[in-house]
Amino acid sequence: MALDKVTSFRLDNALLQKLSREATQKQISLNKLVNCILHEHTDLQSDISRNGFIGIRRTVLSKLLEETTDKKMIAIARHVANIEGKEILLILKNEFDSVSSLNWLDNWLKISGYQYKHDMINSDTHYYLIYHNMGYKWSVYLSHIWEIILKNLLRVQAEFELTEHTISFKID
């Protein structure tokens, strides 16, 4: 049985106060919050720029989307999903199973800054609701990317529902 190591860090007071407030809001201990932050950082966030994520203003992206047809959005989504799917498989190659894949999806959603809900409907079914506030074409794009990635990664089919600002799907 591996034991946790005890290590101390020095944090400036303003940062410590922010972390303490967040821990209180989430109703978890400060220790648990810091561990979650460090896990997220080491799981994916430290490699975010290497994994092709960049910062872009929402208004710029929205304007570009207005000029793109649904057919073109689907073609772009397929292209990106096939590239990202391979990268995800490489990232998860040492621990490829449905649990690590869903953890990766949760981390990706957190890092992307989307508000989302992940619920267990029963012991086998996961429900995701993702609020992106980017318009219907972004819903089309995201749903096609995740449909391909989930099919190739988890070997599951997902049924997507799209609105102007959200996508939702269930997976078994």
Cβ pair 153, 101 in contact under 8 A: yes
At residue 112 the predicted structure's pLDDT band, cuts being 50, 70 and 90, is: confident
- Written as one string, the DSSP assignment of 66-97 is HTS-HHHHHHHHHHHHHHHHHHHHHHTGGG-S
Average pLDDT over residues 133-140: 90
The confidence score (pLDDT) of residue 3 equals: 66
Question: How many Cβ atoms are within 10 Å of 109's Cβ, its own excluded?
Answer: 17
Question: Per-residue confidence at 169, pLDDT binned at 50, 70, 90?
Answer: very high
Quickly state the pLDDT bin for 17 (edges 50, 70, 90): very high
Predicted TM-score (pTM) above 0.85:
no
Domain residue ranges in the chain: 13-43, 57-171
* Least-confidence region, from 13-22, 61-70, 145-154: 145-154
Residue 20 has pLDDT above 80, yes or no: yes
Q: At 16, which helix (H) or strand (E)?
A: helix 13-26
State the pLDDT at residue 12. Answer: 92
The pLDDT of residue 45 is above 60: no
